[in-house]
């Protein structure tokens, strides 16, 4: 009976398995042989993956923020050109508040009073739309999260439509809807209605409700239901439980949703453009009117101020959400 010679995993003459990695008589490599070439390729792929993971978000943010940074930088440019740097100045910001803004030609000159009127219009529309959409969005989030009623799944599916539908589609749809309503009112009552602040506010409420409801619903998902059960066990009715337990916990989410709605309404152009009337120029429409003449240097300053206001509002919204999440975790 022949005894097998040393090979991969077989004992050699010393009784220990062959770990040399050298081929045996059959030409097969040893059991513990390491493919250094393959190992090197795997390490290179891993390093490239790590670099890609670090670099990809940097490139995305760079792509998003470069136009904004360029706009803010050239808002301090000492020259009428918006593409050639001539030095630092704050004259364009001073012109905004000194009644000396021009749009290039004598016929297109406008005063700071028109700018301030557009700002007041934007604040009015954003304030009313935010108040109503925050109330309705919170009620919608509570109904979808806690309610049990017919059509709830369908309503839940339609919940995200205003978020995913393009603004231009929603703006045109609302404009057609308002025209149909105005024609029906004129035929039945003989009253002629025209687009104005009412149509803009209703349009802003329509697309803000979903954003508020999404944030409030996310806050509801992190809420511990045993807190409400404990309140009812202690003798509180449903109204007392809601106002003393549920609503204070939801308040950070409600405020965050309201700030987001205010920001979206303040900066909206497309939906406002399709549903505005005479004398209802908001700040985005005012900026668009300036750009139709040419790109005056003051436009960079106005846009930079709008960006700063939006960043502050969004930052406050994120801070409130984080504080609410921390308080919810500590309460749990």
**What pLDDT does 36 receive?**
63
- Please choose, from the candidates 180, 174, 178, the residue with its C-alpha nearest in 3D space to the C-alpha of residue 206: 174
**What pLDDT does 205 receive?**
94
Q: Which residues pair with 33 in a beta bridge?
A: none
- Find the mean pLDDT for residues 158-168: 83
**What pLDDT does 56 receive?**
75
User: Looking at the domain assignment, is residue 314 inside a domain?
Assistant: yes
How far does the chain reach from its first CA to its final CA, in angstroms? 75
**What pLDDT does 127 receive?**
92
- What 3-state class would DSSP assign to 26? coil
Residues with Cβ within 8 Å of 20's Cβ and at least 6 positions away in sequence, in order, are 30
User: Looking at the domain assignment, is residue 101 inside a domain?
Assistant: no
pLDDT tens-digit map of 13-69: 444 555 444 554 555 554 445 566 676 666 777 777 776 777 777 777 778 788 888
- pLDDT of 185 higher than 70: yes
User: Looking at the domain assignment, is residue 10 inside a domain?
Assistant: no
Chain-wide mean pLDDT for the chain?
77
Of 41-55, 80-94, 236-250, give the lowest mean pLDDT range: 41-55
**What pLDDT does 106 receive?**
46
The pTM assigned to this predicted structure is: 0.69
- Find the mean pLDDT for residues 252-257: 87
**What pLDDT does 109 receive?**
52
* 309, 315, 316, 317 alpha-carbon torsion, rounded to 10°: 110
- pLDDT of 196 higher than 70: yes
Residue 65 exposed, middle or buried by CB count within 10 Å (0-12, 13-18, 19+): exposed
**What pLDDT does 108 receive?**
45
| Owner of token pair 């004129």 | 186
Number of folded domains that form the chain: 1
User: Looking at the domain assignment, is residue 242 inside a domain?
Assistant: yes
Most confident region among 172-176, 280-284, 324-328 by mean pLDDT:
172-176
Q: How many CA atoms lie within 13 A of 109 on its CB side?
A: 8
User: Looking at the domain assignment, is residue 53 inside a domain?
Assistant: no
Task: Please tell me which residue, 12 or 155, carries the higher pLDDT value.
Answer: 155
- pLDDT of 304 higher than 80: yes
Name the phi and psi angles at 85, rounded to 5: -80, 125
What CA–CA distance (Å, rounded) separates 116 from 203?
A: 23
208: its two tokens? 């803000």
Which CATH number is 278's domain given? 1.10.3720.10
Helix (H) or strand (E) holding 66: helix 36-74
Return the percentage of the chain with pLDDT > 70, whole number.
Answer: 77
Return the percentage of the chain with pLDDT > 90, whole number.
Answer: 15
What CA–CA distance (Å, rounded) separates 329 from 314?
A: 23
Of 10-14, 88-92, 108-112, 117-121, give the lowest mean pLDDT range: 10-14
User: Looking at the domain assignment, is residue 118 inside a domain?
Assistant: yes
pLDDT tens-digit map of 259-282: 889 989 988 999 999 998 887 888
pLDDT tens-digit map of 114-145: 777 888 899 899 999 999 999 999 998 888 88
**What pLDDT does 97 receive?**
72
Q: How confident is the model at residue 1 (pLDDT cuts 50, 70, 90)?
A: very low
User: Looking at the domain assignment, is residue 9 inside a domain?
Assistant: no
Please give the angle made by the CA atoms of 170, 174 and 178, to the nearest 5 degrees: 175
Of 132-146, 212-226, 256-270, 284-298, give the lowest mean pLDDT range: 284-298
User: Looking at the domain assignment, is residue 154 inside a domain?
Assistant: yes
Give me the domain span that covers residue 182.
Answer: 110-331
């Amino acid at each position: 009976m022949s005894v097998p010679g040393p090979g991969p995993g077989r004992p050699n003459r010393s009784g220990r398995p062959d770990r040399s990695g050298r081929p045996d008589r059959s030409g097969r490599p040893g059991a513990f042989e390491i493919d250094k070439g393959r190992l090197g390729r795997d390490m290179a792929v891993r390093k490239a993956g790590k670099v890609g993971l670090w670099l990809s978000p940097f490139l995305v943010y760079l792509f998003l923020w470069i136009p904004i940074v360029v706009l803010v930088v050239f808002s301090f440019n000492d020259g009428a050109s918006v593409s050639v740097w001539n030095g630092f100045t704050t004259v364009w910001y001073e012109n905004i508040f000194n009644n000396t803004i021009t749009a290039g030609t004598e016929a297109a000159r406008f005063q700071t009073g028109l700018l301030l009127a557009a700002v007041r219009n934007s604040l009015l529309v954003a304030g009313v739309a935010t108040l109503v959409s925050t109330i309705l969005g919170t009620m919608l989030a509570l109904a979808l999260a806690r309610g049990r009623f017919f059509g709830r799944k369908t309503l839940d599916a339609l919940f995200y439509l205003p978020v995913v539908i393009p603004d231009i589609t929603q703006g045109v749809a609302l404009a057609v809807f308002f025209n149909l309503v105005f024609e029906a009112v004129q035929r039945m009552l003989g009253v002629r209605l025209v687009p104005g602040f009412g149509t803009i506010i209703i349009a802003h409420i329509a697309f803000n409700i979903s954003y508020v409801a999404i944030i409030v619903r996310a806050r509801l998902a992190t809420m511990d239901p045993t807190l409400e059960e404990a309140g009812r066990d202690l003798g509180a009715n449903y109204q007392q439980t809601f106002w003393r337990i549920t609503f204070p916990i939801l308040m950070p989410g409600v405020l965050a949703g309201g700030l987001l709605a205010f920001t979206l309404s303040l900066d909206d152009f497309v939906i406002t453009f399709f549903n505005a009337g005479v004398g209802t120029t908001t700040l985005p429409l005012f900026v668009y009117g300036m750009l139709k003449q040419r790109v005056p240097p003051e436009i960079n300053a106005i846009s930079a101020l709008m960006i700063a206001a939006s960043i502050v509002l969004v930052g406050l919204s994120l801070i409130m959400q984080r504080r609410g999440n921390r308080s919810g975790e500590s309460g749990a």
